[in-house]
Amino acid sequence: MEQKTYTQAGYDALQKELAEINEKIEVNKKDISTARSYGDLSENSEYDEAKQEQGKLHSRKAELEEMIAHAKILDESQIDEKAISVGSIVTIHNVERNMDITYHIVGSYETDPKNGKISDSSPVGIALLGAKEGDEVVVAGVREQHLQVLKVTRAKEN
């Protein structure tokens, strides 16, 4: 797995989710034990459900551990605050749509488009990385987009 960049908040969210998964695994162990006590496992739907949940939980746990092991936390002190990077809040003007949009550039795990958080590996994110106020970038795709960078600031970590 390749190394991915996270803001400190994004990395902390991974750690929190892993802790929650570990708690759920402990509860699931008890659910399996209880379901076993009901007898015949071949006709025991509670046991089947608990075993399916166990598989999902362990799969997600492995995924999170892999993500954490290969995470690179953004060092804010090493950032050129005028250039767009992970952690930047960017106001752009979409020339084709004649509208201004504000995005928060985040690592792929933190993506939340409904709240304006777009991934640094999305087409728009890729086009914006490294740009500065006043630059115009082109987003390649089915319909090319021309974006004018109006403002670049850094997100403040909570």
The phi-psi region of residue 4 (left if phi > 0; otherwise alpha if psi is between -120 and 50; otherwise beta) is beta
Please name which of 52, 19, 18, 23 lies closest in space to residue 35, comparing C-alpha atoms. Answer: 52
Task: Summarize pLDDT for 80-103 with one digit per residue, the tens.
Answer: 788 998 889 999 999 999 999 999
- CA separation for the pair 31, 93 (Å, rounded): 53
pTM over 0.85: no
Class of domain 4-73: mainly alpha
Instruction: Give residue limits of the domains in the chain.
Output: 4-73, 76-154
CATH of 76-154, one of 3.40.50.1000, 2.30.40.10, 3.50.50.60, 3.10.50.30: 3.10.50.30
Residue 149 pLDDT exceeds 80? yes
- The CA angle 98-100-101, to the nearest 5 degrees, is 130
